[in-house]
């Protein structure tokens, strides 16, 4: 089964994956995380490390926000402008050749063609849209695409910014697991 997670930047998409992983692993199910942006980060990593000593996989929130425009320019305004399925093709090969997990999660579904890819290539696929209190679209791409993604989601998780710990989000995830992810 494959699950695509959508939402604006900083809405909790990776947190959502972490919670699913925690809940499903307690049921002895395996999960694996994928992201279209991981390939972008991998390709930009040498440039950022050599010139700015920044590792895009391991940087603080302030630095992440500073490099986001470069990642959007490279990933969207260049690669997607040349081929809207560029990142889908890259990730599809990786998922199909490498993953043996019971559940695969793509934590950064940002465009309708990515939803179309999931729905047409995986028999069991779900789209989850995540909204976090106080977080809005940060750029024109998100303002344009997120409403479309939300309208196509199978589930919408609306949660607050957690005060204590992300574990407060477990009930949101357990509800979906109990409704949909039965053997």
User: For position 165, what pLDDT does the model report?
Assistant: 61
Please answer whether residues 60 and 53 qualify as being in contact, where contact means their C-beta atoms are separated by less than 8 angstroms: no
Q: At 26, list the tokens.
A: 């307690």
Q: What is the CATH number of the domain that holds 158?
A: 3.40.50.300
Q: Where residue 164 falls among pLDDT bands split at 50, 70, 90?
A: low
Q: Which has more confidence, 107 or 99?
A: 107
Question: Which residues constitute the domain of residue 51?
Answer: 2-180
Q: pLDDT tens across 37-85, in order?
A: 999 999 999 999 999 999 999 999 899 989 999 999 999 999 999 999 9
- The order of strands in the sheet holding 31-34 is 31-34, 103-106, 2-6, 125-132, 155-159
Query: In angstroms, how far apart are the furthest CA atoms of the chain?
Result: 50
Please state, rounded to an integer, the average pLDDT across all residues of the chain: 92
Mean pLDDT score, 135-162: 91
**Nearest residue to 16 (alpha-carbon basis) of 1, 4, 30, 29:** 4
Overall domain count for the chain: 1
146: DSSP letter:
H
> What is the number of alpha carbons within 13 Å of residue 128 lying toward its C-beta?
25
Q: pLDDT tens across 15-26, in order?
A: 999 999 999 999
């Amino acid at each position: 089964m494959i699950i695509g997670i959508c939402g604006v930047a900083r809405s909790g998409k990776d947190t959502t994956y972490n919670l699913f992983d925690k809940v499903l692993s307690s049921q002895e199910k395996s999960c694996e995380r994928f992201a279209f942006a991981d390939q972008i980060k991998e390709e930009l990593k040498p440039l950022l490390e050599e010139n700015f000593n920044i590792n895009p996989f391991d940087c603080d929130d302030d630095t992440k926000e500073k490099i986001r425009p470069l990642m959007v320019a490279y990933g969207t305004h260049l690669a997607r402008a040349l081929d809207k399925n560029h990142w889908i093709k890259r990730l599809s090969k990786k998922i199909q050749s490498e993953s043996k997990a019971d559940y695969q999660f793509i934590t950064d579904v940002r465009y309708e063609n990515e939803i179309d890819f999931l729905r047409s290539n995986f028999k069991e696929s779900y789209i989850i849209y995540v909204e976090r209190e106080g977080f809005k679209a940060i750029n024109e791409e998100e303002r344009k695409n997120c409403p479309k993604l939300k309208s196509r989601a199978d589930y919408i998780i609306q949660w607050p910014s957690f005060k204590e710990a992300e574990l407060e989000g477990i009930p949101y995830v357990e509800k979906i697991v109990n409704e949909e992810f039965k053997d």
